[in-house]
Amino acid sequence: MAKKSLHGFKRVLNATRYSCQGLKATFQNEPAFREEVLLAFIMIPAALLMDVTQIERILLIAVVVLVLFAELVNSAIEAVVDRIGAEQHELSGRAKDIGSAAVMVTMLLAGYVWLEILIL
């Protein structure tokens, strides 16, 4: 029984290490991600200090994290497309454009939520 638990724990440790490697690689190679992380380091503490309800605070933070999530997925899509080949292909361009659109949609949502809670 203990051996099985150790195996599960090792799997969790490995998954955590791979995730950290992914965050590091994205931070090092994607300027947009670095900018979004900087904004998150400003916006999340700001949300924690604001006089808003708990649900509003959760929403303010969640949409910022959602932007980071979308950028991570977009960066993964771009890396895979670039790995496949450098030649221009309609589907490669479409995949990159769709990933970029996902980031834009989450940014628009984040902007709306912040405006709605703080101003409107």
pTM of the model: 0.86
Burial class (CB in 10 A: 0-12, 13-18, 19+), 20: exposed
Tens digits of per-residue pLDDT, 72-109? 999 999 999 988 887 888 888 899 999 999 999 999 99
Confidence of residue 46 (pLDDT cuts 50, 70, 90): very high
Whether 71 is a known active-site residue: answer yes
Average pLDDT, the chain: 92
Residue 3 reports pLDDT greater than 60: no
Residue 90: how many other CB atoms lie within 10 Å: 7
Cα–Cα distance between 90 and 95 in angstroms, integer? 9
What one-letter code names the amino acid at 65?
Answer: V
Residue 53 reports pLDDT greater than 80: yes
pLDDT for the residue numbered 89: 86
- The sign of the torsion formed by the CA atoms of 94, 95, 100, 105 equals positive
The single residue of 71, 78, 87, 90 carrying the catalytic annotation is 71
pLDDT for the residue numbered 84: 87
117, 64 Cβ separation under 8 angstroms: no
